[in-house]
Amino acid sequence: MSGSDDIPGASRPPSVDRLARALADTGLPHPLLVDAARAAVADGDPEGAEERARAMIALTARNLLVGVINATGVLLHTNLGRAPLAAPTGDGRRFTNLEFDLASGSRGSRQDRAARLLARACGAEAAMVVNNCASAVMLALAALATGRGVAVSRGELVEIGGGFRIPEVMAQSGARLVEVGTTNRTRQSDFEAVVASGEVALALKVHRSNYRIVGFTEAVGVAEMAGLGVPVVADLGSGLLDAACPWLADGPPSWLTDEPGAVQSLEAGADLVTFSGDKLLGGPQAGVIAGRADLVEACTAHPLARALRPGGLVMAALQKVALAYLERDGLAIPFWRMATITVADLRTRAEAIEPGLAGDTVATPGGGTLPGVEIPSAGLVVPGDHVVALRAGDPPIIARVVEGSTVVDLRTVHPDDDPLVAKAIGRLG
Ligand SMILES: *Cc1c(COP(=O)(O)O)cnc(C)c1O
């Protein structure tokens, strides 16, 4: 996947590459080193480029969310994350620089770290983080289309579950839904007609997520919608950052087909993408709005942004995930570790727990993503229905019954918990 750690489509001179490699000892992810190297090389005489780059990297490192000692005497310091929490940054500190700029000593923005890193990881100019993807869609519509029309294909007026229904979110945002096409077929000309009427400020593409339309169908892709002459927002939902999965040594798993990536949607011409933090991104509950800097800025400036902002715990967890993506270290993200462990490894674990009960199982992505997709897996298959007994244990084990047997799928069990699973299964008798 050479080159795709860079802003998609851009190439860089060898001097930038060389300098970025020379900066590896700083410990920051390579794409950030490339950014610093590029800026330093562009900045003047080659002699001092490395020194300038190191200074920029030091600033970047300093600007990450870190633990701080609050010696201000202000017990609930808003810039330091208000009430102290148990070690949100994992370094034992009780406060963070959530809204504090360590360089200037003045107020900073909580959108500076995780959001900036995620923007970098998906090749966007800018990004912001809100409470969840529902908030992200609502805020984007409110900030960009209140009192105006938003064109959406009738085939994408979906309900995701838990009350997220596109027409209702639209109504709450103050934007007016302009339905386009039919349930099964929507064409570019349908969109062109409503845009020509002058009533729409925005075109919204919604990932169907939890259902499929098969048969006599037609849909308009992001690339075509990008030619309509109004901003295009693509609600991706699932939060697959890059369809090529460069953070996995073997690329995307075979069951991850046709899932739109944020990188690809932006490359195809989406002006903004929205996605969840806790679906395929593998982070905490959050929503991400990424894309054109002016549109992200409009979202940041909207009064709803304050109501929808996440706290320091979420930002710290999301920063960790974003850094793992920039490092291309998928194994540092528990979701991807769980998603890519081989069936052979799972079988070995199952046999170590109870050879007589080890068997093949079928896992699913879940979370309202990838409907009907099955992931080959392995675990323990215990004759009879034991789900109540397993749930009553300490810790509770949540299993399911398939054709009269209790299935304990090990794909979603952390290996450290195998001994507890073994004990619980031993007790079933
Ligand atoms: C899941 C999903 C949402 C809602 O995301 P939350 O983070 O749960 O609020 C919105 N849009 C799409 C397309 C989704 O798949």
* CATH code assigned at 350: 3.90.1150.180
Q: Which DSSP category does 259 fall into?
A: P
Going by pLDDT thresholds of 50, 70 and 90, the confidence category of residue 10 is low
Q: Do 294 and 178 share a structural domain?
A: yes
Q: Do 350 and 323 share a structural domain?
A: no
SS3 for 150-209, per residue? EEEEHHHCCEEECCEEHHHHHHHHCCEEEEECCCCECCHHHHHHHHHCCCEEEEEEECCC
pLDDT at 86 over 70: no
Q: Considering the chain, what is the average pLDDT of its residues?
A: 90
Task: Quote the tokens at residue 137.
Answer: 């869609």
Residue nearest to atom 13 of ligand 1 (CA): 237
Pocket residues: Cβ below 6 A from ligand 1? 132-134, 137, 160, 164, 206-207, 209, 235, 237-238, 276, 287, 368
Q: Do 355 and 281 share a structural domain?
A: no
- The residue to mutate among 157, 276, 318, having the most atoms of ligand 1 within 8 angstroms of its beta carbon, is 276
Going by pLDDT thresholds of 50, 70 and 90, the confidence category of residue 119 is very high
Last residue of a domain, one of 272, 307, 332: 332
Q: Do 409 and 271 share a structural domain?
A: no
Going by pLDDT thresholds of 50, 70 and 90, the confidence category of residue 1 is very low
CATH number of the domain within which 160 lies: 3.40.640.10
Q: Do 365 and 276 share a structural domain?
A: no
Q: Quick check: 83 and 95 in contact, CB under 8 A?
A: no
Tally of domains within the chain: 3
Task: Quote the tokens at residue 235.
Answer: 């609600």
**Would residue 58 count as lying in a domain?**
no
- Work out whether the CA dihedral 422, 423, 426, 427 comes out positive or negative: negative
What confidence tens digit (pLDDT) does each residue in 244-291 have?
A: 999 999 999 999 988 999 999 999 999 999 999 999 999 998 999 999
67 vs 86: CA distance, rounded Å: 11
What is the span of the domain harbouring residue 392?
69-83+336-427
Give the residue from 371, 359, 363, 354 showing the smallest Cα distance to 413: 363
Task: Quote the tokens at residue 56.
Answer: 């920029």
Q: Do 355 and 307 share a structural domain?
A: no
**Would residue 391 count as lying in a domain?**
yes
What confidence tens digit (pLDDT) does each residue in 383-427 have?
A: 999 999 998 888 888 999 999 999 999 999 989 989 999 999 999
Cis peptide before 395 (omega within 30 of 0): yes
Atom of ligand 1 nearest to the CA of 276: 7
